[in-house]
Amino acid sequence: MDYDTVYLTWDDLKERGWSRLLMLAYFGGPDIVLQRSEGQQPLELFEEESVVSCEIGQDSRDFFDKYSELVSMAMERKLFYNEKRSNNFCESFDLLIDMPDLDTLLDRARTEYDRRMFLETGDEFHPDGETWSDSISEDALKRVAVLMLKNSSNINTALSHLKNIKHGLAELGMPSETYMSCVDKLYDKFYTTVKEKYPDLESAALELKQSETIDGYTSENIYRIKSIFN
């Protein structure tokens, strides 16, 4: 190691706007690798003079332009792949859901609503003296039933998978163009299945589906109900 030579670390290079991939593409690797104590990563160093020369040289600027073009192409391919991946996932998604008969489902909804309100308020009964589930309308109870079906299915796991794809693209500065359409497809599968199995829940299913995407939806107790189930 030449002690008269000034060296730069990876952190130094990052502050100057270099990425690891770009450094390896242009220089092939560090000029010096210093082994450190056990358990520590080796210290990789680049000669400052070479870096500066690269930064101001015409050849390097041509290289950077070409590199930027290749990166842009790679990102476009990644975006295309992930958008296609999202679409394929939605198209092939199999909804898994426990669907008892309607009376059993509504009985479970009453029990679950009473339980959750007790956990939220500490009170076993509504202030009027009746059970919590008796204090809401039949329509509201049906919405509780639909939410129970949703939470017992695998749709929330599927939505989380799509969000992970979306966030991965966002970190690269590439907003997903198909995210909302894929989400809509998942919701369509769930709510259509519910309506086909339980015609009496069609109105509640439609109302909750609308509330997934319409900001400010103000049906009776809908946000109150959703808040304790989500």
Least confident range of 57-66, 157-166, 186-195: 57-66
pLDDT at 201 over 90: yes
Report the C-alpha gap between 163 and 157 in whole angstroms: 10
Report the C-alpha gap between 46 and 36 in whole angstroms: 17
Evaluate whether 152 touches 56 at the Cβ level (below 8 Å).
no
- Per-residue model confidence (pLDDT) at position 216: 37
Evaluate whether 200 touches 206 at the Cβ level (below 8 Å).
no
List the structure tokens of 131: 């059970």
Domain ranges across the chain: 7-56, 78-229
pLDDT at 95 over 60: yes
- Per-residue model confidence (pLDDT) at position 192: 92
The arithmetic mean of pLDDT across residues 62-78, rounded, is 70
HSE-up (13 A, CA, CB side) for residue 110 = 13
Report the C-alpha gap between 139 and 54 in whole angstroms: 70
115-168 pLDDT tens trace: 988 988 899 998 888 999 999 889 889 999 998 998 889 998 888 888 888 887
- Per-residue model confidence (pLDDT) at position 29: 82
Measured CA angle at 199 (ends 198, 203), to 5 deg: 105
Report the C-alpha gap between 201 and 142 in whole angstroms: 6
- Per-residue model confidence (pLDDT) at position 110: 93
Report the C-alpha gap between 100 and 106 in whole angstroms: 10
- Per-residue model confidence (pLDDT) at position 227: 59
- Per-residue model confidence (pLDDT) at position 63: 67
- Per-residue model confidence (pLDDT) at position 215: 39
Measured CA angle at 181 (ends 178, 186), to 5 deg: 125
Measured CA angle at 113 (ends 108, 115), to 5 deg: 95
Report the C-alpha gap between 190 and 184 in whole angstroms: 10
Report the helix count and the strand count for the chain, using DSSP H and E: 10, 3
The arithmetic mean of pLDDT across residues 66-74, rounded, is 69
